[in-house]
Amino acid sequence: MKPLLLAALLTLTATVPLGAEFQAGVAHTDITPLPGEMMTAMGGKDVAVEKIHDPLAANIIVFQNGSDQLAIVSLDQIGAENMDDIRAGVRERTGIANVICVVTHTHGSGRSSEAHAQRTLPLILDAAVQAQANLAPARIGFGSGEQHLGYNRRIVQEDGSVEMMWNNRDRIPSGPTDPEVGVLVVQHAETHDVIATLVNYAVHPVISMNFSELIISADYPGVMAREIEEAVGGRCIFFMGAAGDINPFDADMFRYATPDEVFAQVKITGHLLANEVIETIEDINDFDADPTVRYGQSFLPMADRAAGPEGAKDRQIEVNTILLGDDFAMATFPGELFVQLGLDLKSQSPTAATWVLGVTNELNWYIPTLKATTEGGYGAAWGTDLEVGAGERMVLEALVSIHHQLGLVQPLQSLLDQLLD
């Protein structure tokens, strides 16, 4: 064997655990609307893009361990208009069977027009191919911080009814909320350079929401991502958690503030979250260089809310569970999950860290708790279209899937065998 090759192999085995096959690769592309491109603004009006405050991105990360592969596509956009085409295209172009597509849900993006979706689709698919080509030996570490940047906008009155509090400039306490800042760091196994930082946080990106005109912005997740990338390197990918009823304190600022004031607050919020992420990264000391990559997919038959309790369950609602190793899990939901459902999932999950990914693979509007449907209000009595109890069913499905994936469910034994034992 040539000396240089032998040295390279010795170096590899000295830095990567024997038999380690875990790899990760990331890539991104710009999906910012072009000036003059048609998009749908808040309120449903189709407009030509004239003002762009900051760019929108599509981020793709691929995880692989042996033959097990997973691709996650994250889009800086509000809705799920082109998710089916993206998932199908990534599967076709990369051969990766397990593909999920999630949005940051920024309300400053506008909804994709057909022209925008068609123009950006090949860019996103090319980026997915590049992410797969960028696969390299990797290791992961995770941790969590805490940041109180939001409030529960559903204020339950003494009589049990709900009053919506759309903005909370006075920082009036309201709950429940989920202040946890989930952080997953993906590093090169050999150099420990950061490949990607994944962040999970349950606050709606609606500071830059504007019903008067469309000003393109990734909202606070965009600010956070740029600051983290500058500080630690790699790409930063934001996943909105169970934020269905959680607003940032300065939500919908355009109703009372100037653009400069709005985007100053967007920057402050993103900066505070970025600082918490960076501090959390500094505290992560345990890394796994060979986590398994496990993926679960379920389809739950459900009825339309409007059809009532006897309605035909002719809708197939997808729930995914992803495990990286035995201690880190993600559960995806195709809508805007109320925060209590996310808290319930986290508290009952057997993994050390469990993330909720909202608005994944499709958008079935708001997914309230059963209790919230008895109280009313936005997201519970309007703005929601799945059967009552849909959220609890999805959370249970995710929990069952995680338990099975971890091998925690005991095999079924016959009563006769037990009696004879």
Domains of the chain, residue spans = 15-282
Provide φ and ψ at 264, rounded to 5°.
-65, -40
**176 preceded by a cis bond (ω within 30 of 0):** yes
The per-residue b/e assignment along 199-237, b for 16 or more CB within 10 angstroms, e otherwise, is bbbbbbbbbbbbeeebbbbbbbbbbbbbbbbeebebbbb
The confidence score (pLDDT) of residue 120 equals: 98
CA dist 11 and 126 (Å) reads 33
Look at residue 20 in the predicted model and tell me its pLDDT. 58
Rounded (10°) CA dihedral 172, 354, 188, 232 = 0
pLDDT at 413 (0 to 100): 83
Residue 279 tokens, joined: 């501090």
Specify burial of residue 182 (Cβ count, 10 A radius: 0-12, 13-18, 19+). buried
Q: What is the pLDDT of residue 43?
A: 86
Max alpha carbon distance in the chain (Å)?
A: 81
SS (H, E, C) 234-259: CEEEEEECCCCCEEECCCCHHHCCCH
In 97-147, alpha helices (H): 114-133
Q: Is 97 helix (H, G, I), strand (E, B) or coil?
A: coil
* Predicted pLDDT of residue 246: 98
Residue with tokens 């939500």: 251
Taking a C-beta distance cutoff of 8 angstroms, is the pair 92, 80 a contact?
no
Mind listing the pLDDT tens digit of every residue in the chain (421 residues)? Answer: 333 333 333 233 223 334 459 999 999 999 999 999 999 999 899 999 999 999 999 999 999 999 999 999 999 999 998 999 999 999 999 999 999 999 999 999 999 999 999 999 999 999 999 999 999 999 999 999 999 999 999 999 999 899 999 999 999 999 999 999 999 999 999 999 999 999 999 999 999 999 999 999 999 999 999 999 999 999 999 999 999 999 999 999 999 999 999 999 999 999 999 999 999 999 999 999 999 999 999 999 999 999 999 999 999 999 999 999 999 999 999 999 999 999 999 999 999 999 999 999 999 999 999 999 999 999 999 999 999 999 999 999 999 999 999 999 998 888 777 777 6
Instruction: Name every residue whose Cβ is closer than 8 Å to that of residue 1 and which is 6 or more positions away in sequence.
Output: none
For residue 31, the model assigns a pLDDT of 98
